[in-house]
């Protein structure tokens, strides 16, 4: 995947995760507002680059292709299927979930994105002696915990403990994309977080 987020430098193209069926690929990346991008088969080469079909939405073409684009800043999952020459993109909306949160393990408490800092924040009351995790799009497919309680998140990681009850501001920081990534950690962005008691 190559685009404005890396100044269209094909040598810096981000490799997509290929551990999917057939010729299917995906990537999770932070994209600024109005980001434009394309796909290239070989890192470092524009040969046979792929973009949006100008006549069929959701289709990819090699010749006379258009630029792919997102409107809003955020973390996105981009999926590519070379069998059907199609692509889809899903924005990730983060929230907190767990026994320490108001919604328990049944309902996520939404977080708010600040594009300038690449951070999602949430201020809420937490219950001491309980736990929480970060989750995207209200699906357990995209959940993050902290193995080792060191402030860095891992996909499917351990629940995060809350020592005492109180009002907290929690910040989820989205780092730079890194690749390639081997399944099951199919998230080529780094996630760190802070917990501040108010």
What digits encode the pLDDT tens for the residues 32-61? 888 899 999 998 999 999 999 999 989 999
| Residues 120, 131: Cα–Cα separation, whole Å | 19
Note whether 37 and 67 are within 8 A (CB).
Answer: yes
C-alpha closest to that of 31 among 104, 110, 81, 91: 91
Dihedral sign for Cα 122, 123, 129, 130, please.
negative
Q: Judge whether residue 162 has pLDDT over 60.
A: yes
Q: Is the pLDDT of residue 141 over 90?
A: no
Q: Which range is least confidently modeled, 16-20, 94-98, 153-157?
A: 16-20
Higher per-residue pLDDT: 182 or 129 = 129
């Amino acid at each position: 995947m190559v685009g404005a987020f890396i100044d269209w430098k094909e040598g810096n193209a981000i490799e997509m995760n290929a551990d999917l069926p057939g010729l299917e690929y995906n990537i999770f990346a932070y994209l600024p507002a109005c980001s434009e991008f394309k796909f290239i088969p070989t890192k470092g080469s524009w040969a046979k680059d792929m973009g949006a079909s100008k006549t069929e939405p959701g289709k990819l073409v090699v010749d006379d292709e258009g630029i792919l684009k997102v409107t809003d800043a955020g973390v996105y999952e981009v999926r590519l299927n070379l069998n059907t020459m199609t692509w889809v993109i899903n924005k990730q909306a983060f929230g907190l979930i767990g026994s320490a949160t108001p919604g328990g393990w049944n309902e996520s408490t939404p977080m708010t994105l600040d594009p300038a800092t690449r951070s999602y924040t949430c201020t809420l009351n937490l219950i001491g002696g309980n736990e929480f995790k970060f989750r995207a799009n209200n699906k357990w497919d995209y959940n993050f915990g902290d193995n080792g309680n060191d402030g860095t998140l891992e996909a499917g990681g351990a629940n995060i403990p809350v020592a005492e009850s109180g009002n907290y501001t929690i910040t989820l920081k989205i780092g730079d994309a890194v690749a390639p990534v081997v399944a099951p950690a199919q998230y080529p962005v780094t996630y760190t977080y802070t917990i501040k008691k108010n």
